[in-house]
């Protein structure tokens, strides 16, 4: 039976450790929304298993199916990034009469809480339920026309485009975002500009990104406790986390995240604790839940401990 809510996930085969952990995490934490995966080169046997193993509907849509047409992405654009980040909006236009509320989740995000109540909030209030951008020192209410470029795009991105939205109520935002995609490859820039120029400030419910992306992951130490139904709960500054973001299954991403942290400082301790926690979650959801996927070994921690790989501060000490 189809849900009135839908989660859209863009993912290529390169993101399978993330996608698999995300699907398993959604299942573990009580998701009942339909899931539509915009995909490229994901193995058929994996797709078949994903369609049958979960208690929610999973559909795989080739990204090429969303190219062309009035609201499709442009296949002739050189940027593959552009196609991945704007294809969800093309899909929104195709399914806006099938679903009440949709949200976008990247395949490099992991859900660690039940997010179904936020669909209900978006449906009952008509709000665009999103999160702040932790890398931008501004809010949508603080900016004005001075932040607009001549092409109508903002020069700042105070909110994320991964939001819970009523597809029919906010069809104008979807269309305007797609319109701006013709002049930028930046999805968040396009979405923020659409919200600003359509003057939907009073339709925004902006949540704390630390509880949804853990973007500034080293400013707090993730804590955890076992909750009901054998589900682990995770906390940032004693607030329940809903998700976190980044490809922590890759040693190169882990190394980059730790590179400028100085061993022996609280920032380093927080960063190391949190990244190891995130890696453990990725590993557990890939190897011990309904749909098992071959999770790579994170060798970077042993290499850092042995001195085979050095952080920035350690390299400077050797000079």
Are both 240 and 198 inside the same structural domain?
A: no
Q: What HEC string does 108-145 produce?
A: CEEECCCCHHHHHHHHHHCCEEEEECCCCCCCHHHCCH
- Structure token pair of residue 276: 């190891």
In this predicted structure, the answer to whether residue 80 has a pLDDT above a threshold of 80 is yes
Pick from 117-121, 228-232, 234-238: least confident: 228-232
Report pLDDT for 230. Answer: 82
Are both 277 and 166 inside the same structural domain?
A: no
Are both 37 and 125 inside the same structural domain?
A: yes
Are both 191 and 288 inside the same structural domain?
A: no
In this predicted structure, the answer to whether residue 90 has a pLDDT above a threshold of 90 is yes
Are both 72 and 142 inside the same structural domain?
A: yes
Report pLDDT for 136. Answer: 86
Q: Hey, which residues does 57 pair with through a beta bridge?
A: none
Any domain includes 125: yes
Are both 19 and 157 inside the same structural domain?
A: yes
Any domain includes 214: no
Are both 197 and 243 inside the same structural domain?
A: no
- What does pLDDT average to over the chain? 95
| Domain termination site, one of 208, 243, 277 | 208
Helix, strand, or coil here: 215?
coil
77's enclosing H/E stretch is: none
Are both 167 and 260 inside the same structural domain?
A: no
Please compute the mean of the pLDDT values over residues 272-297 and round it to a whole number: 95
Task: For residue range 101-116, list pLDDT tens digits in order.
Answer: 999 999 999 999 999 9
Are both 43 and 135 inside the same structural domain?
A: yes
Any domain includes 216: no
Nearest to 65 by CA among 95, 98, 30: 95
Task: For residue range 42-79, list pLDDT tens digits in order.
Answer: 999 999 999 999 999 999 999 999 999 999 999 999 89
pTM, full prediction: 0.96
Residue 98: partners with Cβ closer than 8 Å, 6 or more residues away: 2, 6
Any domain includes 213: no
Q: Hey, which residues does 58 pair with through a beta bridge?
A: 35
Q: Are 214 and 132 in contact (CB under 8 A)?
A: no
Please compute the mean of the pLDDT values over residues 144-160 and round it to a whole number: 93
| Domain termination site, one of 173, 208, 243 | 208
Q: What domain range is 275 assigned to? A: 223-318
Helix, strand, or coil here: 37?
strand
What string of DSSP letters covers 58-70?
A: EEEEEGGGGBSST
| Domain termination site, one of 148, 180, 208 | 208
Are both 272 and 177 inside the same structural domain?
A: no
Any domain includes 232: yes
Any domain includes 217: no
Where would I find the beta strands (DSSP E) of the chain? 5-12, 34-40, 58-62, 101-104, 109-111, 128-131, 165-166, 204-207, 223-226, 232-236, 239-240, 243-245
Q: Give the CATH number, domain containing residue 171.
A: 3.90.550.10
Burial of 292 (0-12, 13-18, 19+ CB in 10 A): middle
Any domain includes 215: no
Report pLDDT for 310. Answer: 96
Number of domains in the chain: 2
Task: For residue range 164-217, list pLDDT tens digits in order.
Answer: 999 999 999 999 999 999 999 999 999 999 999 999 999 999 999 999 999 999
Helix, strand, or coil here: 174?
helix
Report CA torsion sign: 157, 161, 165, 171: positive
Report pLDDT for 226. Answer: 92
In this predicted structure, the answer to whether residue 1 has a pLDDT above a threshold of 80 is no
Are both 228 and 188 inside the same structural domain?
A: no
Q: Are 91 and 61 in contact (CB under 8 A)?
A: yes
Any domain includes 154: yes
Are both 199 and 228 inside the same structural domain?
A: no
């Amino acid at each position: 039976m189809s849900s009135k809510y839908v989660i859209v996930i863009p993912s290529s085969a390169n993101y399978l450790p993330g996608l698999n952990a995300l699907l398993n995490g959604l299942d573990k934490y009580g998701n009942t929304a339909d899931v539509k995966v915009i995909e490229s080169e994901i193995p058929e046997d994996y797709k078949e298993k994903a369609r049958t193993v979960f208690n929610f509907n999973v559909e795989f849509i080739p990204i090429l199916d969303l190219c062309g047409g009035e609201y499709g992405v442009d296949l002739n654009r050189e940027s593959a990034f552009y196609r991945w980040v704007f294809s969800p909006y093309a899909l929104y236009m195709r399914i806006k009469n099938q679903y009440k509320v949709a949200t976008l989740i990247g395949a490099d995000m992991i859900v660690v809480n039940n997010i179904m109540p936020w669909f209900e909030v978006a449906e009952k209030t008509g709000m665009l339920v999103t999160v702040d951008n932790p890398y931008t020192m501004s809010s949508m209410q603080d900016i004005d026309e001075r932040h607009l470029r001549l092409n109508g795009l903002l020069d700042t991105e105070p909110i994320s485009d991964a939001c819970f939205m009523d597809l029919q109520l906010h069809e104008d935002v979807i269309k305007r975002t797609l319109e701006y995609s013709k002049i930028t490859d930046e999805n968040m820039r396009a979405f923020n500009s659409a919200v600003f120029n359509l003057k939907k400030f009073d339709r925004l419910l902006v949540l704390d990104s630390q509880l949804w992306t853990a973007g500034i992951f080293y400013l707090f130490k993730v804590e955890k406790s076992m909750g009901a139904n054998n589900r682990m709960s995770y906390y940032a500054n004693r607030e329940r986390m809903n998700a976190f973001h980044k490809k922590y299954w890759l040693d190169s991403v882990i190394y980059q995240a730790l590179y400028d942290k100085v061993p022996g400082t609280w920032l380093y301790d927080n960063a190391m604790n949190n990244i190891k926690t995130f890696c453990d979650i990725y590993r557990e959801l890939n190897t011990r839940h309904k749909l098992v996927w071959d999770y790579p070994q994170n060798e970077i921690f042993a290499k850092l401990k042995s001195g085979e790989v050095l952080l920035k501060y350690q390299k400077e000490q050797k000079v």
